[in-house]
Amino acid sequence: MNLLLPLSMVITGFTALIFGANWLVDGASALAKKYKISDLAIGLTIVAFGTSAPELVVNIIGSLNGYSDIVLGNVIGSNNFNLFIILGISGLLFPIAVQSSTAWKEIPISLFATGFILFLFNDFVFSGNSSLGRVDSIILLLLFGTFLFYVFKQMKQDTTAQTETVQKSNIKIWALIIIGLTGLIAGGQLVVTNSVKIANSLGVSEKIIGLTIVAAGTSLPELVTSIIAAIKRKADIAIGNVIGSNIFNLLFILAISGLIKPINYNPKFNIDLYILLGGTVFLFASMLTGTRKKLDRWEAGILLVFYLCYTTYLVLAEI
């Protein structure tokens, strides 16, 4: 099979995803600032949800086509990429200081979400088998709704709200949002269908494609956003983006995927969930060591090096 065409379509899809996510985030952020919302709240919600939109679109398409390993690999791989690569690179550029609520509330919420997903896939209490069924998905949506309630409650108590005036008109803001969503949908379709073609032709498992190529590609918006936020010393947006995206991926995107079609669970993903769980514990511990409530450079370096070694191991194991 000639791989040039599907490879070029994957690149085109990623390009559409990146531009679409950027336009969506720009429009949504401008809309949020009109209501004087803080950097942290924007990072946890508007920016996190906007940059996670590629994962959502890819998973909806993957679920409709029955690609369970792509669906799981995309979410779990994206979360690991967010945690280890994005925070690793951002923290190496500039140590990331966080608010007390992030250290003591948002990071533990992300930890709980990861542990709960691990429980759902490895305990037969809810679905009766090793899959994410519709009952499980509804439970995840209820947890996600609780998280949103917590964030909006925090907004009312926030004293660090945005004060700048937004110059964009409502027409321009909504145009950015609609065009961005269109780019995400088209890009997601191209990435999923052509990644599967490449995987099949090369004999590479859908699990590896989902955990690496698709996960990294759909996490590029988070990567760009967090690096730019770190450079601009907007630490709340950088870490809020990552933590918010990870919670969004686990509690909302997996739930929507499971509602569309029950997700058959491959036990090989357990190791990746354990790594995500361990990485989140490490992030929480880093808030207590070195400079308190800050991801120091050496801690960011550990995250980055570990993930690069693990990804190399995954690829070599497939050869």
Domain boundaries, the chain: 4-318
Q: Give 268's pLDDT tier (boundaries 50, 70, 90).
A: confident
**Topology of domain 4-318, per CATH?**
A middle domain of Talin 1 (1.20.1420)
pTM: 0.81
Q: What is the mean pLDDT of residues 114-118?
A: 93
User: Would you state the pLDDT for residue 164?
Assistant: 56
First-to-last alpha carbon distance for the chain, in angstroms, is 19
Given this model, what pLDDT does residue 126 score?
A: 45
Q: What are phi and psi of 263, to 5 degrees?
A: -95, 115
Q: Which residue has the higher pLDDT, 14 or 277?
A: 277
Say whether pLDDT at 245 is over 70. Answer: yes
* pLDDT at 318 (0 to 100): 65
Q: What confidence score (pLDDT) does residue 125 get?
A: 44
Whether 59 has a pLDDT exceeding 80, the answer reads yes
Could you identify the residue written with the tokens 């949908």? 185
Mean pLDDT of 58-86: 90
Average pLDDT over residues 127-139: 79
What is the reported pLDDT for 189? 80
Asked if 184 contacts 16 with a C-beta cutoff of 8 angstroms, the reply is: yes
Task: State the Cα–Cα distance between residues 49 and 57, nearest whole angstrom.
Answer: 12
Report residue 95 as tokens: 């140590």
The pLDDT tens digits of the residues spanning 184-204 come to 888 888 887 888 788 778 887
- Which of the pair, 22 or 60, is modelled with greater confidence? 60
Mean pLDDT to the nearest integer, 1-20: 86
Residue 124 has pLDDT above 50, yes or no: no
The average pLDDT across 249-272 equals 91
Rama region for 203: left / alpha / beta (φ>0; ψ in -120 to 50; rest): left
Per-residue model confidence (pLDDT) at position 156: 67
The DSSP 8-state label assigned to residue 74 in this structure reads H
Q: Determine the average pLDDT of the residues in 130-141.
A: 89
Arithmetic mean of pLDDT over the chain = 83
**Crossing angle for the helix pair 235-248 and 68-80, nearest 10 degrees?**
160
Nearest to 239 by CA among 89, 28, 53, 35: 89
pLDDT of residue 319: 61
Residue, of 67 and 168, whose pLDDT is higher: 67
Helix residue ranges per DSSP H, the chain = 4-33, 39-42, 48-64, 68-80, 87-93, 100-101, 107-122, 134-157, 170-202, 206-209, 215-218, 220-231, 235-248, 254-260, 270-286, 297-318
Which region among 96-110, 133-147, 273-287 has the lowest average model confidence (pLDDT)?
A: 96-110
Task: Give tens-digit pLDDT for 84-96.
Answer: 999 999 889 888 8
Q: At what angle do helices 220-231 and 235-248 cross, to 10 degrees?
A: 160
302-307: average pLDDT: 94
Check residue 27 and give its pLDDT: 81
**pLDDT-derived band of residue 279, with 50, 70 and 90 as boundaries?**
very high
Please check the confidence at residue 227 and state whether its pLDDT lies above 90.
no
Gap between the Cα atoms of 76 and 279, Å rounded: 12
The percent of residues above 90 in pLDDT, for the chain, comes to: 27
Confidence of residue 254 (pLDDT cuts 50, 70, 90): very high
